[in-house]
Structure 1
């Protein structure tokens, strides 16, 4: 389930080799030029959800590890055994579902961790259902771009989603890229444009922190419509042999419903989240609000500072360049 980073490293090596080969080996450059002309006709991206802005509104609470199980047990007791008094008069009434999932997020960033500096992130996500609701999403893969502070609301972030496609045969140079190569070809232009809006060169992205989470989740519904989710996360992050572990509780309003709502309904949804937050903080004084994104929190704990250099994969790219040049020479001579 939690495979290592070798596929990302390997694709990064191949992509670096193809991207920079023209600087060293003219035949490889000509090969790339011809290769790019074979690009398949781009498919139309699906309508709803792809490259569409979704506004994520969530409260993030830092939970001491010693309190994690107590918090979860309280949530189950408070909501599954009957709606708490402070929400009992909500119309329509709430219903609830429980699930446990595992998420694996591989983050990508530039040489200078530009997205980290923006408190934003580009990631490849894998989701695995362990128990409860949401089993239909087991094995789902997704590319996500999350940008900090959407509008004036400090709790809101912008989110864009793209489909993952595993191609058996490379047809264009970007197919070798460790991040862009995962994106469905017909959706790459949209993602490239979105990244450039924030000053990010998509080709400069390489794998950085890998975050795995065991997520215990309590879903709120009104009728059959998702309203919000309380997610208690056990987070493990690693990068270049360094790691960290922490817990946090997210009180997240359903992003589709929140994005499509008018201001008055958004305020009503936020009011419910505020009541839930106040109840939790009152019962567990050791919990504090911390809106730091997981990517930034993990980077700080591991010792990565904004503006630091991510040189490891560039060195791998140089090695890959030499190997690619040798392989190209070998293939050419063996055909004679």
Structure 2
């Protein structure tokens, strides 16, 4: 009996040791793209680090991290939109990351000390080719021009995509001027804000409204769609890169940071560094219609190529967080619901 217990004890110790040696990364992800599966598989193949992934909505995952505190198993939190990453940072969820590789590959305006952008999307103006001229919507400011009265469609002003855009306008133009702009946009609404970016694209194509704003990610997806009706829809929609004569088009990002209480910090840094590799950067572009943040990475995405090159706004992405609260308040005052 004693010998049997000894054998069982040794076996238990062996299992425990094996588990302790297993390389893992616990990832909390608010990116809901099936194409990301390839990213995770390639990382595991290259490093031997297994990814345990929990997916959820951004706010739910952030609240979960806050509630779990030091007991959280999460090593990395990844999501879309600079506003959401900034909120997570304001909650103290991220730890500073020191990585020469990340600092050398990701432009300074696309990261902070605690989180990094790994792909970008531009927020462009779209218009109905039969109802609006491209030269009449050359800037974000033009959306408030009275000549567009009854022609502007939008998603909710409370959505992070719009909050990030308005936060950037505050950074460039000041709060008072941006509020006047917001009031002008509201006066031009064709209908009350509703739906997502794809809904705005379809409304513009159908002539329900003449102009709207959209993230390029959604446009590229329709351009590349296997459905003939999606591609025909895009034939009726024109795309304008706003503010090309001055600061450039507002961009938003997808990014990630290492959780402050990470139990596998080395694996976390390796994963962040992997996302900045040429392979991962190409996959963000070719697989999910996002632009790489690393300069010089060759991509092969016909939809992105069809939209052409553009001048991007180089406003430091971390600065947006300072203006998000002000952006929401002025949108509320302007009636931009």
Please report the TM-score for the alignment, with normalisation by the length of structure 2.
0.23
The structure carrying a bigger helix percent of its residues is 2
Please report the TM-score for the alignment, with normalisation by the length of structure 1.
0.23
